[in-house]
Structures are given as structure tokens and as C-alpha cells.
Amino acid sequence: MDRRTLLKLLSATALVGCAPSQTENPLTVVVAGAGIVGASIAYHLAKAGARVTVIDRVGPATHASRGTFAWINATYAKQPRSYHQFAQHSISNWHDLQGELSLPVRWGGSLEWFGGAERTAKLVDQIAEQADWGEDARMVGAADLANMEPGVDFGGAAQVAFSGNDGAVDPVAATKAMLAAAQKMGAVVKAPCELTGTVLKAGRLVSVETSMGPIKADRLVLATGADPVAAEKFADTDLPQRTTPGIIAVSKPMPLVLNSIIAAPGAHLHQRLDGRMVVGEQQGAPAGDAHAERLAGRPNDYPERWIAEDHAARMFAVAEEFVPAMADAVVEDVYIGWRPLPLDGHPVIGAAPNRPDVYLAVMHSGVTLAPVVGQLASHELLSGEAAPSLAEYRPGREFELIKRY
Ligand SMILES: Cc1cc2nc3c(=O)[nH]c(=O)nc-3n(C[C@H](O)[C@H](O)[C@H](O)COP(=O)(O)OP(=O)(O)OC[C@H]3O[C@@H](n4cnc5c(N)ncnc54)[C@H](O)[C@@H]3O)c2cc1C
């Protein structure tokens, strides 16, 4: 039995019973947040027959789901093994979604290496664990690398980790495609439309208040990303979370030179199907009052275009050390993304402990996880049955600070 079939069987076992028919008395669900997570939940809900309204304060894929590196991965960094399997399940679902909606996902695996001997030795162990777990992961030497990625200068790295299941997606296009498909099945998308309150009767949700007026709702999904107040305000839930910024620079389309995702010391990059290079910066913002002040308001854009272009040019110059073709790259978009980071680095998925009609879906690695979260969250919302594979990610758990990203 191949891996994808096994994952499907496991997921079917986890979801004992099917969602009840939504044709006669469909559940009315408002999804707040039209990033990739909200879009996937909305798509899966609409597909199962729910009456869905998606609202976003700004618009689809305008926050983390735009300023993301969008690496679909389940490599050694996804720990423990249950979380790794959860991410692999999502990779399998990405293949299904790609087929259903013709999404711009590019598969080809990832190649990752580090500078020092100590970190490289650790990487070798981490990849050995992946191989033990049955993944398509191995260390690759110089001769193979030259065939796999002739356009990359590995700088003499003797050992590079290859993770064969990984891919990358254009996250804005994928988010919009999922929303458009949901709309074709009857969902409504409203933006800019801000969630401002909830209305309860006898303890149950009856509607939500928004900047565009009230909307009837049996359930509310908070797919509000790094928003610091949504969980407390609308779900009466203390969601311990932090956020860190990351810069993503995208080039104009160029001839295809990369086959896989390149995670090199100092730069991450991949090339989309349309030829655009996506470069992510590795080090965080420099220390200093000026930066701290500028970042305090969590901006998504630079104060001026020339500053953004300067920053992107520096990032492209680092990437050029590994991919010489980057010398011809022309900056198209530069974006400051803010990671939604529940304190322990794992997703928060499930009904709020004190508000059973409000469902939280807040996470990092939301690009990787969007398909599986959409599938399982819509199942839980419509059937009322708990999906066993979400048990570790409930909002009511104890949170311990673990800096995974
Ligand atoms: C620099 C960077 C690199 C990353 N790299 C990767 C990667 O390689 N792979 C990976 O899997 N993940 C990666 N991530 C994480 C991933 O991008 C996020 O986990 C994912 O995009 C989260 O999607 P989301 O839909 O939950 O949130 P978002 O895309 O942030 O969407 C939340 C939406 O909620 C809306 N909203 C908030 N409050 C309200 C309200 N009151 N009313 C209405 N709307 C509201 C906002 O306007 C926003 O559009 C990265 C993130 C960053 C920042």
C-alpha cells in the first residue's frame, strides 16, 4: 500500500461516521479571516453543504498568507512524530486539492544545508530519523546535486538534505481559488468586512456583528491569523501567542532555473510555476530602537517603496551566492509577514472551551496545514464529532513556550 493510500485510510478511521446531510437544514457558518486557512475551511464547508459567509477586515490573502514563503513541508522540523504525520497528511490533501482546483503548487522536494560541521552532523541525524519514519528523505552528495540542481552553487557543501515530498505554492492564488470555488457552491465573501461582536441567545450563537451589519450564524470560525485580540474578544479564550516578522521578496517572472526549494545558509528560495522567484530572509530584524518603533504597529508594507526595494536587493544578492541566475532578478513585490504563533508553536484548532459555537483555527505552517485543517475542521463543525488527530491542538491545552519558528 502506498503512503497516500495509507494516510487516506488513517484519516477515514479518524473521522468515524460522515457529516450529516446539509441539504435539508444546512448549518450557517461565518468564517472570519480570508487567509489560506479560512479559505480552506470555507471551501470544505461549502463542499459539504453548509451555508458559508467569509468575511475579512481587509481582503483575501492580505496578511500572513501573502507574506509567506509558502513551503509545503513535513520535514525534520515538524516534531513530534504525530505533528509530522499531521503535516504529511496535509501534503497528501494538497495533491487532492491541486487536482480539484488546478492550484499552482510546484512539487520537487527541498534541499537544505547549513554552514558548520556541528549543525550538519545534527542534520544527518534528523534526516536519518525521517528515513526511519518512512519518509522520502536522504542526504545527497555533490555528484547527485549537480544533476538535481545544475543552477545552484552549493558552495562546496559535502552533504545536503533532500526531502522529496515537499513543494511550494502561490499562496495568494491558492487562497483566491479556494474562495472562488466556495462561492460557486453558494458561499458569500465580504471584504472589507470586520467582525466586531457576537450575539448569543440562551448561551448559543445566533448572529455575528460586523462592519457591514449583522450576519446570522450558528457557528463562527476564527481564522484570524496573528490578530492578537480575536480569541479573547470573540471566543472568551486566552490564546497565548506571539508573532515574529519575516520579509518575503518576489521577483518578476524569469526563465525556470530551480527544480526544488533551496534552504541555504542565509537564504531560502524557490521558483513558482510562473517563473517568479520567492526569497525569504533568514535572520530577523536588526536590533535597534528605529526598527522596534517601525515594527511596533505590525506594518505589512515599508514606509516607502525605495526602502522595500533596497531590502529586496540585499536579499536577492544573498540568494545570488547560491543561485547565480538571481543576478537578473527584478523585484516585483516585497512584503512584511507576521507569523501567527501559538506559544508552543503548534496549531490551535477546535471549539473554544467556554463558547462551543466559536471554533478557533490559528496556526503557523498554515500554508502546509490548510488542506488538512479545512477537511477536519469542516467535519467537526458539521458532524459534532471530534477528529482524533486534532486532539493535541485544542485551545484549552496548557501552553509552554517553544520557539520553533
Ligand atoms: C515570513 C513568513 C514565512 C512563512 N513561511 C511559511 C512556510 O514556508 N510554510 C508554511 O506552511 N507556513 C509559513 N508561514 C506561516 C503561514 O504563512 C501562516 O501560518 C498562514 O498564512 C496563516 O494563514 P491564516 O489564514 O491563518 O492567517 P492570515 O493569512 O493572516 O489571515 C488572517 C485574516 O484574518 C483577518 N482578520 C483578522 N481579524 C479580523 C476581524 N476581526 N474581522 C475580519 N477579519 C479579520 C485578517 O485581515 C487576515 O486577512 C510563514 C509566515 C510568515 C509570516
Give the chain's mean pLDDT.
92
Q: Is the pLDDT of residue 8 over 70?
A: no
For residue 44, give Cα distances in angstroms to 181, 228, 319, 393.
Answer: 10, 26, 37, 20
Q: Say what the pLDDT of residue 158 is.
A: 85
Separation between Cα atoms, residue 68 and residue 380, nearest integer Å: 27
Q: What is the mean pLDDT of residues 349-356?
A: 96
Angle between helices 171-184 and 366-383 (to 10 degrees): 20
Backbone angles phi, psi at 99, to 5 degrees: -65, -40
Give the residue, out of 53, 68, 72, 298, with the most ligand 1 atoms within 8 A of its beta carbon, to mutate for a pocket test. 68
Does residue 70 line the site of ligand 1, with CB under 6 A? yes
Strands (E), 202-314: 204-210, 215-216, 219-222, 241-242, 245-251, 261-264, 267-271, 277-281
Q: Say what the pLDDT of residue 347 is.
A: 98
In the reported structure, the alpha carbon of residue 34 is separated from the centroid of ligand 1 by a whole-number distance in angstroms of 9
Q: Is the pLDDT of residue 144 over 80?
A: yes
In the reported structure, the alpha carbon of residue 166 is separated from the centroid of ligand 1 by a whole-number distance in angstroms of 20
Q: Ligand 1, closest atom to CA 366? A: 19
Q: Say what the pLDDT of residue 14 is.
A: 35
Give the residue, out of 262, 365, 373, with the most ligand 1 atoms within 8 A of its beta carbon, to mutate for a pocket test. 365
DSSP state of 239: -
234 and 329 Cβ atoms separated by less than 8 Å: no
- The three-point CA angle 240-92-159 to 5° equals 85
231 and 80 Cβ atoms separated by less than 8 Å: no
For 81-148, the DSSP string reads HHHHHHHHHHHHHHHHHHHHHT--EEE--EEE--SSHHHHHHHHHHHHHHHHTT-SEEEE-HHHHHHH
Ligand 1 atom 20: the closest Cα is on which residue? 366
Does residue 65 line the site of ligand 1, with CB under 6 A? yes
In the reported structure, the alpha carbon of residue 224 is separated from the centroid of ligand 1 by a whole-number distance in angstroms of 7
Does residue 366 line the site of ligand 1, with CB under 6 A? yes
For the entire predicted model, the pTM comes to 0.94
Q: Say what the pLDDT of residue 285 is.
A: 63
Q: What is the pLDDT of residues 362-375, one digit of tens each?
A: 999 999 999 999 99
Q: What is the dihedral of CA 113, 116, 120, 126, to 10 degrees?
A: -90
Q: Say what the pLDDT of residue 130 is.
A: 96
Ligand 1 atom 21: the closest Cα is on which residue? 65
Cell (9 digits) for 292: 522596534
Give the residue, out of 54, 62, 63, 190, with the most ligand 1 atoms within 8 A of its beta carbon, to mutate for a pocket test. 63
Q: Please report the domains of the chain, with CATH numbers, ordered by start residue.
A: 3-69+172-241+343-393 (3.50.50.60), 107-167+243-341 (3.30.9.10)
pLDDT band (50, 70, 90) for residue 18 = very low
Identify which of 147, 174, 149, 180 has the alpha carbon closest to the alpha carbon of residue 72.
Answer: 174
In the reported structure, the alpha carbon of residue 302 is separated from the centroid of ligand 1 by a whole-number distance in angstroms of 18
Please enumerate in sequence order all residues whose Cβ is within 8 A of that of 397, keeping only pairs 6 or more positions apart, or say none: none
Does residue 234 line the site of ligand 1, with CB under 6 A? no
Q: Say what the pLDDT of residue 172 is.
A: 98
pLDDT band (50, 70, 90) for residue 71 = very high
Tell me which residue has cell 526563465. Answer: 255
pLDDT band (50, 70, 90) for residue 11 = very low
Does residue 339 line the site of ligand 1, with CB under 6 A? yes
Separation between Cα atoms, residue 133 and residue 236, nearest integer Å: 39
Q: Say what the pLDDT of residue 16 is.
A: 32
In the reported structure, the alpha carbon of residue 107 is separated from the centroid of ligand 1 by a whole-number distance in angstroms of 22
For residue 363, give Cα distances in angstroms to 37, 82, 113, 239.
Answer: 9, 16, 26, 11
Q: Is the pLDDT of residue 35 over 50?
A: yes
Ligand 1 atom 38: the closest Cα is on which residue? 224
- Give strand pairing partners of 338: 245
162-173 core/surface letters (b: 16 or more CB in 10 A; e: else): bbebbbbbbbbb
pLDDT band (50, 70, 90) for residue 1 = very low
Q: Say what the pLDDT of residue 23 is.
A: 66
Backbone angles phi, psi at 330, to 5 degrees: -115, 130
Q: What is the pLDDT of residues 266-316, one digit of tens each?
A: 899 999 999 999 999 876 666 667 677 778 888 888 889 999 999 999 999
Q: Say what the pLDDT of residue 401 is.
A: 81
Q: What is the mean pLDDT of residues 120-136?
A: 96
Does residue 34 line the site of ligand 1, with CB under 6 A? yes
Q: Say what the pLDDT of residue 22 is.
A: 67
Q: Say what the pLDDT of residue 6 is.
A: 46
- Between 179 and 405, name the one with better pLDDT: 179
Q: Is the pLDDT of residue 355 over 90?
A: yes
Q: What is the pLDDT of residues 219-277, one digit of tens each?
A: 999 999 999 999 999 999 999 999 999 999 999 999 999 999 999 998 999 999 999 99
Cell (9 digits) for 30: 461565518
Ligand 1 atom 3: the closest Cα is on which residue? 68
Give, for 307, the enclosing helix (H) or strand (E). Answer: helix 305-320
Ligand 1 atom 26: the closest Cα is on which residue? 225
In the reported structure, the alpha carbon of residue 364 is separated from the centroid of ligand 1 by a whole-number distance in angstroms of 8
Q: Are strands 188-190 and 51-55 parallel, antiparallel or unpaired?
A: parallel
Q: Say what the pLDDT of residue 238 is.
A: 94
Q: Say what the pLDDT of residue 93 is.
A: 98
Q: Ligand 1, closest atom to CA 247? A: 1
Separation between Cα atoms, residue 15 and residue 1, nearest integer Å: 20
Does residue 248 line the site of ligand 1, with CB under 6 A? yes
Q: What is the pLDDT of residues 148-184, one digit of tens each?
A: 999 999 998 989 999 999 999 999 999 999 999 999 9
Does residue 68 line the site of ligand 1, with CB under 6 A? yes
- Lowest-confidence range among 2-6, 253-257, 350-354? 2-6
Give the residue, out of 41, 43, 65, with the most ligand 1 atoms within 8 A of its beta carbon, to mutate for a pocket test. 65
